[in-house]
């Protein structure tokens, strides 16, 4: 496991925060989430490798827009 910084500055609305919370709770590779000194960054304990974390983190900033997906 590794700790990565997750930039969350994009989560400014209640809908975006809800999406972020849901994704953090449902990702099997997220083992823990911690606040940092910066309000726009979370520390994430992640069981996957660096490339997998970055791919997952990029997908967070683009919430699904298909019908029934977190709307």
Domain at 27, CATH number: 3.30.70
pLDDT tens digits for range 17-71? 888 999 999 999 999 999 999 999 999 999 999 999 999 999 887 655 444 444 4
Domain of 45, in residue numbers: 2-60
39 in any annotated domain: yes
Q: What is the pLDDT of residue 66?
A: 45
* 66: number of Cβ within 10 Å: 7
| Number of structural domains in the chain | 1
- pTM summary value: 0.79
Q: Is residue 33 part of a domain?
A: yes
DSSP string of the chain, one letter each residue: -EEEEEE-TT--SHHHHHHHHHHHHH-TTEEEEEE-SSTTEEEEEESS-HHHHHHHHHHHTS---STTS--
Q: Confidence class of residue 7 from pLDDT cuts 50, 70 and 90?
A: very high
70 falls within a domain: no
pLDDT of 68: 47
- What mean pLDDT is predicted for residues 5-24? 90
């Amino acid at each position: 496991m590794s700790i990565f910084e997750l930039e969350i500055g994009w989560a400014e609305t209640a809908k975006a925060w809800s999406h972020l919370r849901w994704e953090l709770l449902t990702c099997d590779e997220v083992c823990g989430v911690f606040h940092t000194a910066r309000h726009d960054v979370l520390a994430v304990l992640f069981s996957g490798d660096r490339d997998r974390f970055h791919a997952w983190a990029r997908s967070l900033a683009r919430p699904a827009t298909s019908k029934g997906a977190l709307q």
